[in-house]
């Protein structure tokens, strides 16, 4: 990327960053991925509890799930091994036990695919992925969609991981602002802490191989499963 014109490079970053924006309309604002169950059980009441939950989410479910997924998929794309993406799609789908969470990821992936296609037209790897999803061969995951697009935009591996992590962080903070409720200022402090955490997580995730993909902690998974039968809900998952 060093030989590319600076303006071109910055525009590529901005185009990828647009996909990271919490206002990007792909439906993530409808999902809490288990956070709402912690609210329901009064385990999250204010900012400190939310920050603790959020950091644990990134250190476990994100680290071994979509965070690792971005790293594995980026490397597979660089090596020209697209078939590995389909393998990773199946692994991450089958390792997501909560039905709502699994379906939520599918919906978000489909929305992201449709909007990127509307803005950029044909991107061959994304087109192949979309066809496999429509044919029922694959489920679809937003981290895979994002990584394909980031690689197409020539984003380096570390930037791809960090930008996707930021997209999760910023969206979930906005969801917490609505649900807890969390003050906007407190939300930005929490998000800043997550940005710093992402910087620490990247060297750890970079060393992992595909055998770690889908590892999780019972507490987060149980909360996501319990949310399916929760009486009053603001979010779909």
Token pair, residue 235, equals 């979010």
Tell me if 120 is assigned to some domain.
yes
Report residue 150: phi and psi, to 5°. Answer: -60, -40
**Any domain includes 191:** yes
Q: For every one of its 237 residues, what pLDDT tens digit does the chain have, with 9 covering 90 and above?
A: 445 556 668 888 999 999 998 888 888 878 788 888 888 888 999 999 999 999 999 999 999 999 999 999 999 999 999 999 999 999 999 998 888 889 889 999 999 999 999 999 999 999 999 999 999 999 999 999 999 999 999 999 999 999 999 999 999 999 999 889 889 999 999 999 999 999 999 999 999 999 999 998 888 888 888 888 877 777 765
Domain membership of residue 95 as a residue range: 42-226
The confidence score (pLDDT) of residue 70 equals 98
pLDDT at 83: 97
Residues 6+ apart with CB under 8 A from 148: 73, 77, 85, 123, 125, 126, 129
Would residue 3 count as lying in a domain?
Answer: no
Total of domains in the chain: 1
Q: Which phi and psi (to 5°) does residue 85 adopt? A: -60, -40
What is the pLDDT, as a whole number, of residue 3? 58
Q: Are the CB atoms for 54 and 174 separated by under 8 Å?
A: no
The reported pLDDT for the residue numbered 224 is: 87
Question: Could you tell me how many residues make up the chain?
Answer: 237
Q: What is the pTM of this model?
A: 0.93
Give a yes or no: residue 13 inside a domain. Answer: no
Give me 204's structure tokens. Answer: 């750890």
The pLDDT of residue 28 is 81
Tell me what pLDDT residue 173 has. Answer: 94
Residue 1 falls inside a structural domain: no
Report the CATH number at residue 86. 1.10.4190.10
- Token readout for 197 is 């955490």
């Amino acid at each position: 990327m060093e030989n590319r014109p600076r303006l071109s490079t910055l525009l590529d970053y901005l185009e990828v960053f647009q996909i990271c924006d919490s206002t990007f309309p792909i439906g993530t604002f409808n999902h809490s991925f288990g956070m709402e169950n912690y609210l329901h059980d009064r385990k999250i009441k204010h900012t400190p509890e939310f920050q603790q939950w959020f950091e644990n989410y990134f250190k476990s479910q994100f680290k071994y799930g979509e965070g690792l997924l971005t790293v594995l998929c980026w490397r597979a794309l660089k090596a020209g091994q697209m078939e590995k993406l389909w393998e990773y799609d199946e692994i991450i789908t089958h390792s997501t036990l909560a039905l709502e969470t699994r379906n939520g990821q599918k919906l978000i992936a489909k929305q992201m695919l449709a909007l990127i296609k509307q803005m950029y037209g044909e991107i061959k790897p994304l087109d192949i992925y979309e066809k496999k999803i429509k044919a029922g061969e694959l489920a679809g995951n937003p981290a895979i969609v994002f990584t394909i697009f980031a690689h197409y935009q020539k984003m380096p591996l570390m930037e791809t991981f960090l930008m996707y992590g930021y997209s999760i962080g910023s969206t979930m903070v906005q969801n917490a602002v609505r649900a807890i409720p969390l003050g906007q200022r407190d939300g930005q402090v929490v998000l800043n802490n997550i940005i710093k955490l992402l910087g620490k997580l990247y060297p750890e995730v970079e060393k992992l191989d595909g055998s770690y993909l889908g590892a999780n902690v019972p507490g987060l998974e149980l909360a996501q499963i319990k949310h399916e039968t929760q009486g009053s809900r603001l979010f779909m998952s």
